[in-house]
Structure 1
Amino acid sequence: MARALDLQNYIGHLIRRAEQVHTALWSQQVSREITSQQFAVLNALSHKPGIDQRTLARLTSLDRSTVNQMIRRLTGQGHVSQVRDAEDRRRTLLELTDQGSELLAALIPPAEAINQQLLGLLPEAQRGLAIDSLRRIAFMDEALESSD
């Protein structure tokens, strides 16, 4: 008989469960129409207007095909505009529309509230360590690439 892992001590399982909790909270408290990944796209475009999809994918840690689908959906909903780069006609540059900016502004307070709700489960002294630990895990692949 195969040895079984104690999933309550298995980081991959705990990360997946934590994502499930976050997704449920997002749907209940932020939006049923805009996902947290779409929020990340809107937020990145607010921070860096006029970027292309490749840059957007890198900034949001999403694959390019996922970003492509999201941009099509967000453009169709009137939240994002696309224009051809005058210097390189192969590139499409992305920006939030006024409607997209208004949507993002409305989503930020409940998104911040969820963040505080989740961090509030931890003792205050551990919150910074939790963020740092998750950041290290989330960007482990980039750290490995830079050490090559």
Structure 2
Amino acid sequence: MAEALDLNRYAGHLIRRAEQIHTSLWSRHVSEAVTSQQFAVLNALRDRAGIDQRTVARLTSLDRSTTHHIVRRLTEQNFISRVRDETDRRRTLLALTAEGRMLHASLAPSAKKINDELLSVFPDERRGEAMHVLARLSQRKPVRTRETF
């Protein structure tokens, strides 16, 4: 029978705890109404008006279904506009509305502050290394089937 894992040395547990801390900071200091995933979509569109939903999903690392729901909700709230692509009628191009730009501008400074707060647990000279480790983890492709390692 396998022994219990020391959760303080288990990467998945620590990542989940870090996400809980991020979510708590986000709702307390950025927004209770706009999630960090919704902000990621707004941010992806901030300087890229006219991209399609698939590109937004790729830029935000959200699955297509989640991206669809977020875009629909932000469109209903008049933060995103949708326009049919004239060259490819199957595509819908997205852009921030004036309200969406104002929302992004109101949230971005606080989002940066909580990012700085999260990284404050590392000495200044180790923050780049911490971001590098997180970036490496986030680039790992998920395993689609159940496999034994």
Question: What is the TM-score of this pair, normalised by structure 1?
Answer: 0.93
Q: Cα deviation per residue 1:75-127 (whole Å; 9 max; x = unaligned)?
A: 00010000000011110000000000000000011001101111111111111
How many residues are matched?
142
- Given residue 128 of structure 1, which amino acid in structure 2 is its aligned partner? G
Q: Alignment RMSD, CA only?
A: 1.1
Deviates more, 1:95-104 or 1:44-53: 44-53
Superposed displacement of residue 67, structure 1: 0.5
The whole-number CA distance in structure 1 between the counterparts of 2:7 and 2:126 is 22
Partner of 2:10: 10
Superposed displacement of residue 47, structure 1: 2.4
Task: For 1:1-148, list aligned pairs within 5 A.
Answer: 1-141=1-141
Question: What is the TM-score of this pair, normalised by structure 2?
Answer: 0.92
Q: Of Structure 1 and Structure 2, which has the larger fraction of its residues in helix?
A: 1
SS in 2 for 1:141: coil
Unaligned stretches of 5+ residues in structure 1 = 143-148
The whole-number CA distance in structure 2 between the counterparts of 1:80 and 1:88 is 20
Q: Cα deviation per residue 1:20-51 (whole Å; 9 max; x = unaligned)?
A: 00000000000001000000000001121111
Task: Give the share of equivalent positions with the same residue, in percent.
Answer: 59
Give the ranges of 4+ consecutive aligned residues of structure 1 lying more than 6 Å apart after TM superposition.
Answer: none
The whole-number CA distance in structure 2 between the counterparts of 1:75 and 1:45 is 13
The whole-number CA distance in structure 2 between the counterparts of 1:118 and 1:61 is 20
The whole-number CA distance in structure 2 between the counterparts of 1:2 and 1:9 is 16
Deviates more, 1:12-21 or 1:1-10: 1-10
- Given residue 134 of structure 1, which amino acid in structure 2 is its aligned partner? L
The whole-number CA distance in structure 1 between the counterparts of 2:126 and 2:39 is 26
The whole-number CA distance in structure 2 between the counterparts of 1:46 and 1:125 is 30
SS in 2 for 1:140: coil
- Given residue 141 of structure 1, which amino acid in structure 2 is its aligned partner? K
